[in-house]
Chain A
């Protein structure tokens, strides 16, 4: 059986992940607009540590001469004519059909200014 030489790492996750604090987790929750109870923060922190611990093996890879890949099939700049296609558009009543709150065919949004903070 032929063996092909290739990049191989010996022991993944050998480098410790950086410490994560409860405060960082709480800040991320706020940034992501995820309501998180104080009591959940500790377990979320543990999940962060577990996950970031696994991905530390990437730091062993030499990527100094490597470009990133964001799109695997190499497509670039896919264009279409700038024309309205009614068959692909919602009517107003379709657009609001699944909204929790609507008013005369409009979405009702929560107040985000003048909340006193």
Chain B
């Protein structure tokens, strides 16, 4: 049963020598053996893990098994971004995220499935088949980091790494009942992450508890001279605000009145009551319409995708451009169109101006509130096949997360309701001002401890 341990529990028990690292790995391996064929969370397992974990045992993360989304370059370990363009790609270099993870003693157990190129919110655009939601396998895990969220939810790892461009950490975490933390843009290096929309791409942890996410983030964060957009901002110890009370903190509640949230709203309001009962000052507040953020993000993302994916020429590495799946083709082409002469002002430049308005809006809101909260996803996980009929499926599912994505703000998802009949979850999205992840961790942790929605806390 050691695969069900949280990261904090595993580290504590290893330190006290109550359990052995080998036993954790054996239980995680058997969990993978039993479930992965059905769930399809892992695309590639790391066959060198056994050697690596022995060398890592004395380091802070003590050699525990960590799942890594398959869009981080891992030297000597196949990296596909879930696209057959990269089917046989074995990187000759290591991404900063995985290099830091390894340096801290995390050992990669395997590379997890995602929407191809991280384009989507379902994992259904993966060219290696969809991942299923471990909480209820008739449903999708969300995406694009659906494989990492599923690996955590199914206890096929102790913690995981994902990446978010607009919702790709928080939305699958909401659908799978896990914790997902998207740091401030520039807090964690993008070097070696398969580039998607470079102005919003943000790697971060998907974990069993808020505490685990904070521990992992401690090891990922910080300036990297191979990514010029990483910040020299000092990195605090993100575990310092764990366990602190939230009495007197001002919490602004966003996006409750939007259509499509009716079924989730009572459960979310109950979660707001929990924050009030903990002493926070909670009030509803109007913000810029997130449907505008969908548009900003769609234009910016398609444009940056068309540029970033231009590198796949089939010459230096990888297969040629005929291997792109339909979703990537659509996005590359739409970005090419909206950036082309005569259309750039109408689309791209307009979108970047509205992006400025979102930044100003958040600035005003954070002048009054310590954190802002919303639902992470409008509703519960969608059924298998749900993404197949719409070119805009992902953007509509990620609507509530896109405003904070296009503005580079940090956000964290914590489970805030479980439907007893379907075993599916709703998630709360807690956003903080730039560089103030510690504040949202404080609120998320307080909520998690005060409720039973987190299945590892309540076990």
Contact = CB atoms under 8 A, between A and B. Distances in A.
A55 B168 CA distance: 21
Q: Give the one of B317, B364, B434 with max A CB within 10 A.
A: B317
Contacts of A55: 294-295, 298-299, 347, 351
B317 A32 contact: no
A103 interface: no
B274 interface: no
A73 B229 contact: yes
B329 A34 contact: yes
A67 interface: yes
A59 B347 CA distance: 9
Given A8-B286, A72-B407, A34 B295 contact: no
A84 interface: no
A22 interface: no
Contacts of A80: 225
A98 B315 CA distance: 9
B267 interface: no
B89 A98 contact: yes
B352 interface: yes
A73 B364 CA distance: 17
Contacts of B294: 54-55
Contacts, number: 183
A58 B92 contact: no
Interface string B296-307: 101100100010
Interface residues of B, number: 74
B457 interface: no
B186 A75 contact: yes
Interface in B337-359: 337, 340, 347, 349-357, 359
Interface in A30-45: 31-36, 40, 44
B356 A66 contact: yes
Contacts of B359: 69, 72
A109 interface: yes
A6 B332 CA distance: 34
B152 to A, nearest CB: 28
A56 B291 CA distance: 11
Query: Chain A interface residue count: which class?
Result: 35 or more
Interface string B361-373: 1001100100000
Interface string A60-100: 01010011111111010010100000001010001111111
Contacts of B365: 4
B92 A1 contact: no
A100 B315 contact: yes
B322 interface: yes
A24 B337 contact: yes
Contact of A68 (B306, B314, B315, B353): B353
Interface in B275-333: 283-289, 291-292, 294-296, 298-299, 302, 306, 310, 314-319, 321-322, 324, 326, 329-330, 332-333
B231 A73 contact: yes
B386 interface: no
Contacts of A34: 321, 324, 329, 332-333
Given A40-B326, A54-B392, 9 more contacts: A1-B284, A3-B284, A3-B285, A8-B289, A32-B336, A58-B296, A69-B352, A73-B184, A98-B91
23 contacts: A2-B283, A3-B284, A4-B287, A4-B365, A9-B291, A28-B336, A55-B295, A57-B295, A58-B295, A66-B356, A66-B357, A69-B352, A69-B353, A69-B356, A72-B407, A73-B408, A75-B228, A90-B93, A98-B318, A99-B317, A100-B315, A107-B315, A107-B316
Interface of A: 1-9, 12, 24-25, 28-29, 31-36, 40, 44, 46-48, 50-52, 54-59, 61, 63, 66-73, 75, 78, 80, 88, 90, 94-101, 107-110
